[in-house]
Amino acid sequence: MNLSILDDLEFLKSFDKDSMLKIQASFPENCEDALRRGKVLKIPKRLSISKNVKITYTTPNNIIIAGMGGSAIGGDVLKDWLRDRVRIPIEVSRSYNLPAYANEKTLVVAVSYSGNTEETLSSFLDAIERRCMVVSISSGGLLEDFSKKLQNPFIKLPGNFPPRSAFPYLFFPLTEVCNKLDVINFNKLEIKETIKMLKILRGELAPETKTSKNTAKQLALALQGHIPIIYGFGYYRGVALRLKGQFNENSKTLSKCECFPELNHNEVVGWIGIKNLGKHFVIILIRDHDEPNVIKNRIDITKKIVLDKKANRVIEIYGKGESKLAKMLSVLYIGDFTSIYLALANRINPTPVEIITKIKSELQKKTKTIENIRQRINNYS
C-alpha cells in the first residue's frame, strides 16, 4: 500500500461518508462539554418511586456501572483510573440484571447512549426494584423517558453520535456523579492536563498531518491485512478493551486484547502452537515510561522470547502526559484514530455497524423484553 494514500484528503472523504474523522477531532471539546453537563446534575436526598419503593441517596458502599459496548467502556476506564484511589468496589455490569449484592447502598449508573439498549434498561429497572441509588445517562430514548417518569437523576447527552464516538460523554459525567456523592474529590489539574494533552495530540493525529509524522496513520498501515492483538497492563486494561472494540466496529476487523501479568500464565503458551499462523497477527503493546519495574521486565521478556519470534510485528504505544488519566486517554485517542484510518485504508466507511442493528432487529421479533420493561415501569405511575 502506498504510504501517501492516507494523506489524500479527498480519498479519506470519499469513504468517510459520515464524517467520523471530524467527530474524532471534536473529542477534546466534547470532554469539556461532558464535564459541564455532569456539573448541572442534581441528586435528591430521597426519591419516592412508589408507596413501597423509596430511595435514599448517600455516599455508596459500592458502584455498578450498567451498560453495553461503547456505552460501558467509560466505566472500565473509570474503574482502572480509580483503582488505587477509591476504597469502594467499582464494577461494570454488562448484563440484563445486576449482581446479587446490589442493594440500597449501591450506586448504579445506567449508561446507554441511545437510551434504548435493552440490557441497560433491564438493569435500570432491576436497580429501581432493589432500591439502589440510580443515576442514568443517555442522549434520549426510553432511558430518558423512564428517568423522567420516575423523577430519577438523569444526565442528558447530545445526540447524533455513533455511541462509540461519544466516549467523552460516557466517561466524564461519571466523574461528576462520583463527586456529588462524595466518592472522591477529583484533581481538577489532572483533568485539565488531560484535555490540554488531547488538544495537542489531535494536531499530531489529524488527517492533515502527513503519514511520516502521524502515529495513527503509520499504525493503521502496519495493521492492514493483519489481526491486531492488544496487550495492556494495570490501568490500561480498559484502554486495551477500548482499542479492541474500536478495531471491531470502526475497522470491521477481528481483534482481541489481554493484559499483563495474567497473559503470562496462559496466553503465552498459545503462541507456541500457532506455527506459521503468527504471520497474521500484529501485537500492540501499551507501554508507560513509568510502568512498574516488574511489569516492564515481564513485557520485555515476553516480547523477546515469544512475541518477536511468533508475531508478524510488535508495535509499542507509550502513554503521553504526566498524569495517569492523560496517559490512559492519549493511548485511547491514538487507538480511535488508528481504527478509523485502518477502515479508510481498506476503503471501508467506519461508521455503519449493520450487523449489530440486524441482530437487535431479530431479537425484537423474538422477544418482548422492552415491552415488558415498559409495562413494569408504568406500574409505578
Q: Is 249 a catalytic residue?
A: yes
User: E strand or H helix at 5, and its extent?
Assistant: none
CA distance 74 to 270: 30
- My answer on whether 110 and 218 are in the same domain is no
- My answer on whether 274 and 326 are in the same domain is yes
Neighbour count for residue 239 (Cβ, 10 Å): 29
User: Residue 93 maps to which CATH number?
Assistant: 3.40.50.10490
Query: Using an 8 Å Cβ cutoff, are 112 and 120 in contact?
Result: yes
Please tell me the total count of domains within the chain. 2
Percent of the chain at pLDDT exceeding 90: 92
CA distance 255 to 265: 20
Confidence check: pLDDT of 106 > 80: yes
- My answer on whether 212 and 327 are in the same domain is yes
Any domain includes 355? no
Any domain includes 239? yes
Q: What is the pLDDT of residues 132-149, one digit of tens each?
A: 999 999 999 999 999 999
Q: Is 280 a catalytic residue?
A: no
- My answer on whether 45 and 153 are in the same domain is yes
Can you give the pLDDT at residue 52?
87
DSSP 22: H
Amino acid at 306: V
Looking at the chain, how many residues does it have?
Answer: 381
Q: Is 32 a catalytic residue?
A: no
DSSP 191-220: HHHHHHHHHHHHHHHSTTS-GGG-HHHHHH
Confidence check: pLDDT of 283 > 70: yes
List b or e across 22-40, with b for residues whose CB sees 16 or more CB atoms inside 10 angstroms: ebbbebbebbebbbebbee
- My answer on whether 178 and 194 are in the same domain is no
CA-closest candidate to residue 95, choices 139, 125, 136: 125
Any domain includes 30? no
In a 10 Å sphere around its CB, with 0-12 CB exposed, 13-18 middle and 19+ buried, how is residue 189 labelled?
exposed
- My answer on whether 96 and 225 are in the same domain is no
Query: Using an 8 Å Cβ cutoff, are 97 and 141 in contact?
Result: no
- My answer on whether 322 and 270 are in the same domain is yes
Confidence check: pLDDT of 194 > 80: yes
- Residue 1 — pLDDT band, cuts 50, 70, 90? very low
The CA dihedral of 143, 144, 148, 152, to the nearest 10 degrees, is 60
Q: What is the pLDDT of residues 239-268, one digit of tens each?
A: 999 999 999 999 999 999 999 999 999 999
Any domain includes 209? yes
Any domain includes 152? yes
Choosing from 42, 51, 188, 265, the catalytic residue is 265
99 vs 83, 96, 120, 339, CA distance in Å? 20, 10, 13, 33
Confidence check: pLDDT of 272 > 90: yes
- My answer on whether 112 and 72 are in the same domain is yes
Confidence check: pLDDT of 91 > 80: yes
122 vs 56, 111, 140, CA distance in Å? 21, 12, 16
User: E strand or H helix at 129, and its extent?
Assistant: helix 118-129
Choosing from 144, 249, 258, 291, the catalytic residue is 249
Any domain includes 26? no
Can you give the pLDDT at residue 187?
83
Give the residue-averaged pLDDT of 115-139. Answer: 97
- My answer on whether 97 and 157 are in the same domain is yes
Query: Using an 8 Å Cβ cutoff, are 380 and 47 in contact?
Result: no
Any domain includes 260? yes
- My answer on whether 251 and 336 are in the same domain is yes
- My answer on whether 208 and 341 are in the same domain is yes
The boundaries of the domain holding residue 157 are 41-186+361-378
Confidence check: pLDDT of 365 > 90: no
Confidence check: pLDDT of 305 > 70: yes
Give the residue-averaged pLDDT of 26-45. Answer: 97
Greatest Cα-to-Cα distance within the chain, rounded to the nearest angstrom: 68
- My answer on whether 12 and 92 are in the same domain is no
Any domain includes 101? yes
Choosing from 148, 360, 362, 368, the catalytic residue is 360
CA angle 77, 78, 82 (to 5 degrees): 120
